[in-house]
A and B are shown apart, each in its own frame.
Chain A
Amino acid sequence: MNSLTTYIIISIVLFLLGLLAMMTRKNAISVLMGVELILNSAGLAFVAFGRFVAGNLDGQTAALFIIIVAAAEAAVALAVFLNYYRLKATAEVDKADALRG
C-alpha cells in the first residue's frame, strides 16, 4: 500500500480540507491554517512524486522551497492580520468587505 496513489489521495484529501477551511471558516486565522494545510498537501504530493516517479531529489527540494515560502508568507499574513484586527476590532473575514460593490 505504499504506492503513489495512496499518498496522492492523502494529498488530495488534505488539499480539499484546506480549501474547505479557506472557504468556510469565519476566523482569519482559520483561513490561514487552511492555507497551511494546502501548502502541506502540495509538498506531500511533490515528495511523493519525487519518490515514485522522478527518482531524484527534485520533489524534496520543491517541498523544501514550499516550506520556506510558507514561512515567509505566514509571517507576513499574520502581520497583516494583526493590523486588520487592530482596524476592525474583529478577526472575522466576512467583515473585510470594504471592496464591496
Chain B
Amino acid sequence: MTLLSQIVFWFFVALTVVSAAVVVFHKRIIYSAFALLFAFFGVAVLYLFLHADFLAAAQVLIYVGGILTLVIFGVFLTAKITTLDIPQLTHQRFLALIPLVLLGLGIFLVFYTVPWPSVQPEITPTTQRIGELLLTRYLVPFELASVLLLAALVGAMRLARHFRQQEGD
C-alpha cells in the first residue's frame, strides 16, 4: 500500500481505538455516546479498507443511524444531573483487568499460532454479490433474521408501551 493509504489507515485505526477508549473511560455518558459514534464510523472505514463496501454502508446506516440514535435517546431520557459527578467506573475496575489480560493473551496466542492460509481475492463491488448470497446460500438465516427483527420490533413496542403508559400517568 501506498504511504497515503497507510497514513489514512492508521489514522482511522487510531480514531476507532481512541473513540472506543473514550466510550469506556469517560465520565460523562453523553460523551461516551458520541465517542461511540466515532468508533462506529471508524469501523466502517476499516470495513472499506477490507473491501466491504456494502457492509460499510450498512454499518453506518444501521449502527449510527439506528442504534446510536437509540442509545442517545436512552441517555437523554435517563440522564440525571445528580449522577454527573460520581465516578462512572465500578469498584472492580482494577480487578477486571485480570481476566481481560488473560483473555486477551489467550486469544492472541491462539490466533498467532494457527497457520492461517493466505489468499488474495479480487476486488469487486460486493453489493450485488451479497444480495445474491442472501437469497441463495444464506436464505434461511436471512428469513430468520427478518423474523428476529419482527420479534424484536414487537417486543420493543410492547415494553416501550408499558413504559409509555407509566410515563403518561
Chains A and B are bound partners: yes
- Interface residue ranges, A against B (CB under 8 Å): 1-2, 4-10, 12-21, 23-27, 29-30, 32-34, 36-37, 40, 43-44, 47-57, 59-61, 63-65, 67-76, 78-83, 85-86, 90-92, 94
- Interface residue ranges, B against A (CB under 8 Å): 1, 6, 9-10, 13, 16-17, 20-21, 23-24, 29, 32-33, 36, 39-40, 43, 46-47, 49-52, 54-55, 58-59, 62-63, 66-67, 70-71, 73-75, 77-78, 80, 83, 86-90, 92-93, 96-97, 100, 103-104, 107-108, 111-112, 116-121, 126, 129-130, 133-134, 138, 141, 145, 148-149, 151-153, 155-156, 158-160, 162-163, 166-167
CB–CB A74/B71 < 8 A = yes
Residue of A nearest to B66 (CB): A71
Residue of B nearest to A80 (CB): B159
CB–CB B156/A75 < 8 A = yes
Residue of A nearest to B163 (CB): A82
CB–CB B88/A64 < 8 A = no
CB–CB A79/B96 < 8 A = no
Tell me whether chain B's interface is mostly helix, strand or loop, or mixed. Answer: helix
- Closest Cβ of chain B to A15, distance in Å, is 8
- Closest Cβ of chain A to B114, distance in Å, is 10
A29-B29, A29-B78, A40-B39 known; A63+B52 contact, CB < 8 A = yes
Chain B residues whose C-beta falls within 8 Å of the C-beta of A33 in the assembled complex: 23, 32-33, 36, 71
Tell me whether chain A's interface is mostly helix, strand or loop, or mixed. Answer: helix
CB–CB B104/A25 < 8 A = no
A4-B116, A78-B156, A79-B159 known; A13+B17 contact, CB < 8 A = yes
Partner of B88, one of A30, A60, A80: A30
CB–CB B55/A60 < 8 A = yes
Partner of B20, one of A17, A75, A78: A17
CB–CB B118/A52 < 8 A = yes
Q: Other than A52-B119, A79-B158, give 4 A-B pairs with Cβ distance below 8 A.
A: A9-B108, A79-B156, A85-B78, A91-B78
CB–CB B119/A55 < 8 A = yes
